[in-house]
Amino acid sequence: MAILDVLQFPDPRLRRRAEPVEKVTDELRQLAADMLETMYDEPGIGLAAPQVGHSIRLVVVDTEWTEENAERKPCVFVNPELLERSGEIVWNEGCLSVPDFTAEVERSEQVVLRALDLEGREIVETASGLRAVCFQHELDHLDGVLFIDRLSRLKRNLYIGKRKKSFQEEGAAWTSAGERPPVPIGGMR
């Protein structure tokens, strides 16, 4: 297993719409195992393949795990999609690809997710609260959308301004191609 590098905003690779997985292979299983190891190491409660430079529709999630509760319940979802959503919830979200920032985001409170597991079998799961928020956050990554895209223009621009400043201070090159999602996010959640 391996710890992978997590891409960070404004890397343009975070802005691509990821391709469906055609076949569950041993290579895909190895990537999922590496993503889980990376997620626990960061630490995080989810990770999407585009965050580690693979533009495919694969996510890993463990919303039970915390630093206090060491019990792990790793879940892998291949080609996940949301069948239903209902209600509204506001959650203070962070993102492993958006350093040094959290903000309240409005999401659906309950969702029904359909995906394949690593044996190629269909999974249907109903989730609410944090797990539902995490599913929506990870599925957004598959469409090149970051949680900052769901904030007001003012809040998003404040974050982008701070991030640009830290790039300047470190003498790093800024790529404006990664600032915006590939498509307008109106209507998506």
CA atoms within 13 A on the CB side of 179: 14
CB of 29 to ligand K1U, least distance (A): 20
Binding ligand K1U (rule: CB under 6 A), the pick from 62, 138, 143, 179 is: 138
C-alpha to C-alpha distances, 100 to 13, 104, 114, 172, nearest whole angstrom: 20, 14, 32, 17
Binding ligand K1U (rule: CB under 6 A), the pick from 4, 21, 31, 45 is: 45
Which listed option, ligand K1U, Zn ion, none, makes contact with residue 116 (CB within 5 to 8 Å by class)? none
C-alpha to C-alpha distances, 126 to 3, 113, 114, nearest whole angstrom: 30, 6, 9
State the sign of the Cα–Cα–Cα–Cα dihedral 85, 88, 91, 93. Answer: positive
Which listed option, ligand K1U, Zn ion, none, makes contact with residue 94 (CB within 5 to 8 Å by class)? ligand K1U
- Rule CB under 6 A: which residues touch ligand K1U? 43-48, 66, 91, 93-97, 133-134, 137-138
- Rule CB under 5 A: which residues touch Zn ion? 95
**Catalytic site positions:** 138
